[in-house]
Structure 1
Amino acid sequence: MTDIFDDRIDHGPRSLEALEARLARDLDLLTLPPADWVPPQDGALDVAIIGAGMAGLTAAFALRKVGISNIRLFDRAPPGREGPWATYARMETLRSPKTLTGPALGLPNLTFRAWYEAQFGRVAWETLHRIPRLQWLEYLTWYRRVTNPPVENGTALTGLTGDADGVTLDLAGPEGARRVRARRVILANGRDGLGGPFIPPFWRAVDKRFWSHAHETIDFAALRGKTVAVLGAGAGAVDNAAEALEQGAAKVYMLVRRAELPRINKGLGAGHPGNVLAFHTLTDEQRWAYNQYIAETGVPAPHNSMLRCSRHANFALLTRCPIEAAEPEGGRLRLRTGRGTVTVDHVVLATGFAVDWAQRPELAEIARHTLLWRDRFTPPGQENSEFALHPYLGADFEFLERTPGAAPWLNRVHAFNFAAVLSHGKVTGDIPGISAGAERLADSITAALFTEDYDHHWQRLIDFATPELLGDEWTEAEGF
């Protein structure tokens, strides 16, 4: 183990100011970002990025590292509220190990660890178990400040279409509705980027006053003294149950359909560079099998999250407990389950997200034209799997046409959100692989822009006339 008291060890900057100076020095030594090389085209952006959370910020800086700076990020949230961290995320700490470098893109002084140690010291880092959720948001806010991308907050995408030469974005923001033209678009819009909360059909018929989805705003304070049921077996269910308990709920039931709670995070078994860097090169059958297996085995809540619930005497976990019926009864909701009947005041559905194109009307043109996994490959008997509606993406995260020639602009739009997991693995939104995904995306966009502008770059080569030799560096030999 590192000797944190050894004076010979560089303990790093002792303030954010010093850290930022060191980061600036790193960028200077690496000559980053390089000079712009993409020729401007009729006022269009080279790249528009939808979303300024972790994925959007990482993609933006990865582009700037390869000399693409005519970009802009659009996020519907106000500054500092991008992503899930201050909204529906309710865990105390991140689920990822603290040692992951996340969006640092290979720069040590851009890591969370560097940011943390600059403020709290090496000893505090060594004793830290996992990263507090809101502290991660503070780090991302700092990341945005030091990488300085052009972000427009309070601006929502309302429509997306295009032609063979580019993409047209309809936006609604503080200045009203407007259109922006871009050569490429990155959808870095999160876990619900191509859909929204998954609501089981059964619950759509139940009066909404009796239930909430875990990924919407919930007034937990209003549940003080109430009986709450949380449906689900994953980390989200545990986090919401804990929130209800800590806000004073009289009783919280966590109702799980599975025979037992998942205990092993199979995803960690795939957390190595081979999987991160090469998942997209696997066959369709292999990629489907990986994702389906992890989904079927389930992802458990972290150890500390489970203890957050079980330390409350008024918490009850029930497995083998599917909901068979839900009926209003005297202002409450009577649940008939596989293990009996319970009456509750409110139900929280921790049922995750789904690719559900109907929940994203702004992406209607993509939904109409894009190739889905069900169009390309589904194993026998799994035609109704949740994965069937995921987009079948190309090697550069790009959408592909279902009917060739019907939407020639579609491959100019790149899915850098959770819906890319089936095609590319977890490199578009999860902390472990976000840098690798962003760098591969930036490389692919670099290649696309360079080849599209070949004539310009060829002429630039022909026109280049800065002499290396001036003619006075030597004397011609005579006598031959």
Structure 2
Amino acid sequence: MSDVKPPAGLAALEARLRQDLAWLDLPASPWVKPRVSEGTPVLEVAIIGGGMAGLALAAELRHLGVAAVVFDQSVAGFEGPWATTARMETLRSPKHLTGPALGLPALTFRAWFEAQFGAEGWATLDKIPRLQWADYLRWYRKVLTLDVRNEHRVNRVAPRADGLVELDIVTPAQTHHLLARHVVLATGRDGLGGPWVPEFARQLPGHLWAHSADGLQDAWFEGKRVAVIGGGASAMDSAATALEAGATRVDLLIRRAELPRINKGKGAGNPGMVHGYWRLPDAWKWRIRNYLNTQQVPPPRSSTLRVSCSGRARFLLSSPVVAVEENPAGGLWLYTPTARIEADFLVFATGFRTDFDQRPEFAPFSRHIRTWQDRFEAPPTERDAELSELPDLGSCFEFQEKTPGLCPGLSHIHCFSYPAALNYGAVSGDIPAISEGSKRLAHALVGQLFNEDIALHFESMRSYADPELLGDEWVASQPTAEELRP
């Protein structure tokens, strides 16, 4: 007879979570003063993006008594990259990291997993499968009853001088014109731009190439010679996808002479970095992020073996692509300093960049955003064009004006996505510190909402009249004759 207990099941876990929240007296009662503008109710906080960061922030705000509405353009359950564009088999992050659990044990991935597959299943699990992580986030949203509105694409974000932010939101049925006191851009790796490709890519026929974030389809690769530009995690995932879809050969064109082997970010992956980085002087912030950019993050070992074990892949190191042209016979020619490579299809695994031309919805304010290059001059040995374009955020992850007074209300828009990394570190998108980042921003937003209405809150305090003593708890007495002084 086995001593192994069967999994408790999700119903039992959800009951435990409800009990934990009750013991912690969460969520707090609503306390933000309602606001109406021109007859229209104003949202307290609007979050653009229903991926992990948006969900975690909405959950923490709800715990603090603030109503946050999340808008996402995807259909329900397909927010973020996990079940759409991502192609890795498992997550890079170790399974024990608590992710967006916000300090609640019953909200962790481990609790969710063990409730269904038991402690033995957890012990044998190596890395978290990507699609299983997507299922966990779906459960996270459901069990916390977060207000996520799917198929709501934000078409325009415009700050106003009165401190409100206008939102034009397009749904399959109609366009909504809403107002919010604060808007948070939880837009993930896309951040304030989107996928980046070299300029020469724009001259190529669209059917011959894609970016690794385009949601790679098997039909693009079957029976073809495929080239992948890049040597990071997305390059390995793209190459593996092509090979498993039936590509006859995959060439990885990598500019470095050797793949990076050490993830330097892990060298300071501790609570000190999470809670101390954002307090550092600017020079140290720049130095750290520039060093990480220079060293680069190696692709996961399992992802690299997934490619190399195929027998149909070539790792062409010291092979930066300097030009690409269409082959008159079909396909492409890719030129490196030493070779001409033929391919039928090309994948750019070249990452993301801040590029407001790709985000017309931010046009009403994007040109007014102060960036790091507007106020910080990097040492000659640490020049970094990518970092210099990042927004210089304030103490509440808010955008700041490049020229004070030209875009009033800009500070009511907050950046809780990858471009916040230079100011705040990796707390606005990656699994390891997403809870800490969500708490930091939520606490700052709560403080701002309270301060903005301090006169109203003071008046509420003055008019509060719920007595603790009713007047019948004692009988007034008089001093005795001996106690009376002449």
Does residue 151 (structure 1) correspond to residue 148 (structure 2)? The answer is yes
Q: CA deviation at 1:200?
A: 1.1
In the alignment, which of 32, 35, 40 is matched to residue 29 of structure 2? 35
Query: Which sits farther off after the overlay, 213-222 or 173-182?
Result: 213-222
Give the TM-score taking structure 2 as reference length: 0.94
Q: Matches of 1:223 and 1:170 in 2, distance apart? A: 39
Q: Matches of 2:163 and 2:214 in 1, distance apart? A: 38
Q: CA deviation at 1:468?
A: 1.2
Q: CA deviation at 1:183?
A: 0.4
Aligned runs of 1:449-468 on 2, under 5 Å?
A: 449-468=449-468
Query: Which sits farther off after the overlay, 375-384 or 243-252?
Result: 375-384
Match of 2:232 in 1: 234
Amino acid at match of 2:470: L
Amino acid at match of 1:346: F
Q: Matches of 1:286 and 1:98 in 2, distance apart? A: 31
Q: CA deviation at 1:189?
A: 1.2
Match of 2:302 in 1: 304
Q: CA deviation at 1:325?
A: 2.5
Q: SS of 1:121's equivalent?
A: helix
Q: SS of 1:148's equivalent?
A: coil
Query: Which sits farther off after the overlay, 244-253 or 319-328?
Result: 319-328
Give the TM-score taking structure 1 as reference length: 0.96
Q: Matches of 1:122 and 1:242 in 2, distance apart? A: 32
Aligned runs of 1:201-220 on 2, under 5 Å?
A: 201-220=199-218
Query: Which sits farther off after the overlay, 76-85 or 463-472?
Result: 463-472
Structure 2: runs of 5+ lacking an equivalent: 481-486
Match of 2:400 in 1: 400
Alpha-carbon contact 2:290-2:384 (below 8 Å) kept: no
Query: Which sits farther off after the overlay, 470-479 or 300-309?
Result: 470-479
Q: CA deviation at 1:12?
A: 10
Q: For 1:267-323, what per-residue CA distance to the aligned partner results, in whole angstroms no more than 9, with x for missing partners? A: 111211111112111111111111111111110111111111111111111110111
Alpha-carbon contact 2:86-2:215 (below 8 Å) kept: no
Match of 1:166 in 2: 164
Q: For 1:187-238, what per-residue CA distance to the aligned partner results, in whole angstroms no more than 9, with x for missing partners? A: 1111102001011123222332221111113322341121111110100000
Q: CA deviation at 1:34?
A: 1.0
Q: Matches of 1:171 and 1:383 in 2, distance apart? A: 39
Q: Matches of 2:198 and 2:379 in 1, distance apart? A: 24
Amino acid at match of 1:209: H
Amino acid at match of 1:331: G
Match of 2:261 in 1: 263
In the alignment, which of 127, 132, 135 is matched to residue 129 of structure 2? 132
Q: Matches of 2:410 and 2:295 in 1, distance apart? A: 34
The size of the alignment, in residue pairs, is 472
Match of 2:281 in 1: 283
Q: For 1:310-346, what per-residue CA distance to the aligned partner results, in whole angstroms no more than 9, with x for missing partners? A: 1111111111011122222201212222332221101
Give the root-mean-square deviation of aligned CA atoms.
1.5
Alpha-carbon contact 1:280-1:395 (below 8 Å) kept: no
Match of 1:345 in 2: 344
Amino acid at match of 1:258: R
Q: SS of 1:390's equivalent?
A: coil
Q: Matches of 1:476 and 1:296 in 2, distance apart? A: 78
In the alignment, which of 108, 112, 118 is matched to residue 109 of structure 2? 112
Q: CA deviation at 1:13?
A: 6.3
Q: Matches of 2:276 and 2:65 in 1, distance apart? A: 25
Match of 1:377 in 2: 376
Does residue 26 (structure 1) correspond to residue 20 (structure 2)? The answer is yes
Q: For 1:427-447, what per-residue CA distance to the aligned partner results, in whole angstroms no more than 9, with x for missing partners? A: 000000100000011100111
Alpha-carbon contact 1:231-1:255 (below 8 Å) kept: yes
Amino acid at match of 1:360: R
Q: CA deviation at 1:65?
A: 1.0
Match of 1:178 in 2: 176
Match of 2:484 in 1: none
Q: Percent identity?
A: 48
Q: For 1:91-131, what per-residue CA distance to the aligned partner results, in whole angstroms no more than 9, with x for missing partners? A: 00001000100000000000000000000000110111100
Q: SS of 2:32's equivalent?
A: coil
Amino acid at match of 1:198: W
Match of 1:59 in 2: 57
Amino acid at match of 2:255: R
Aligned runs of 1:317-356 on 2, under 5 Å?
A: 317-329=315-327, 330-356=329-355
Q: Matches of 2:9 and 2:354 in 1, distance apart? A: 43
Q: Matches of 1:365 and 1:438 in 2, distance apart? A: 26
Q: CA deviation at 1:377?
A: 1.0
Q: CA deviation at 1:383?
A: 5.8
Alpha-carbon contact 2:216-2:238 (below 8 Å) kept: no
Amino acid at match of 1:405: G
Alpha-carbon contact 2:159-2:413 (below 8 Å) kept: no
Match of 1:93 in 2: 90
Structure 1: runs of 5+ lacking an equivalent: none
Larger Rg, first or second structure (1 or 2) = 2
Amino acid at match of 1:94: L
Match of 2:436 in 1: 436
